[in-house]
Structure 1
């Protein structure tokens, strides 16, 4: 099976990215998406097409002709009381909590989902995809979900999450089957 993950087009400037950001695409996101459509359009031939429940993922998927089915398991990490705030805002209010969150993947000082639970949720979704063999799946989701999927697939240490960047409209492919995923580049 080949699973292609597409990072949703941007919905805000990087410094204005908020935990649980559920805003629709901004003008720059639409412009970048229009430029990327010719390259990404062939992905619409996938047998199964999914997206996270956010407006930016849905809009990206629809613009690519995917008509994706929303998957709650592909939602961003639940950030509890930090929802809607930027990392800079949270760090100014709760510096010790942010430090604990970044240092311990089992911690959830925000009252939401710990990093390890988030990675496990995304990995559980990967491992329950229904196609075997040469089937193709495409999913549009937040960059954070793609980072979690890569961490799960590579069985990388949790701190690797903080050292991985996935930009809007990036494409990452995973091949394999439940419990045996490989990162596929190129």
Structure 2
């Protein structure tokens, strides 16, 4: 039986259009409400032998709220957005429209002075590939949607531009099974009534 890594997307701490690069805000009241509504559905994942989370406050809080007691993994941190950290996409576009266009068009570009999309995907994939390879081991990882998108692009060996075509909703789960260099995607669904635009 192959290794199974189930990603749980962190609950949202703001409406979608107010999402910020490398957002380090904690869960708000609505985010906690979402966690409470789906906790019974996601609690069985706490039986995983290994439980991890991204270092962001909302990922840690989501993992704790779901009863996972996750271990923080720096390899699951969000993309380093350099001087755009804390900005919304709209704010970055208003300040540096040509730089944002270059960043969206070229997965190797780093106009913000941080990490390129290719480097981000490679880093997250490296974390995935270094999970224990014991047969049947189950892993759960609570992470930012961007981290899960990067992991999926890596697992599927898809072109980096695919990253922009993957939608990961708050508190959704997605699993990959396999081992280093050979991953299969498995969709486990999205809990009802968790989106907040």
- Normalised by the size of structure 1, how large is the TM-score? 0.98
Residue 121 of structure 1 deviates from its aligned partner by: 0.2
Residue 131 of structure 1 deviates from its aligned partner by: 3.3
Q: Determine helix, strand or coil for the equivalent of 1:81.
A: helix
Residue 37 of structure 1: aligned partner? 39
Residue 116 of structure 1: aligned partner? 118
Residue 61 of structure 1: aligned partner? 63
Residue 172 of structure 1: aligned partner? 174
Residue 149 of structure 1: aligned partner? 151
The structure 1 residue matched to 2:137, chosen from 115, 135, 146, is: 135
- Partners of 1:180 and 1:28 lie apart in 2 by 38
Residue 132 of structure 1 deviates from its aligned partner by: 2.1
The number of equivalent residue pairs is 186
Residue 26 of structure 1 deviates from its aligned partner by: 1.0
CA contact (8 A) 1:132 1:177 kept: no
Residue 126 of structure 1 deviates from its aligned partner by: 0.3
Q: Determine helix, strand or coil for the equivalent of 1:175.
A: strand
Show structure 2 runs of 5+ residues with no match: 189-197
Runs of 4+ deviating beyond 4 Å: none
- Partners of 1:65 and 1:28 lie apart in 2 by 18
- Normalised by the size of structure 2, how large is the TM-score? 0.93
Residue 161 of structure 2: aligned partner? 159
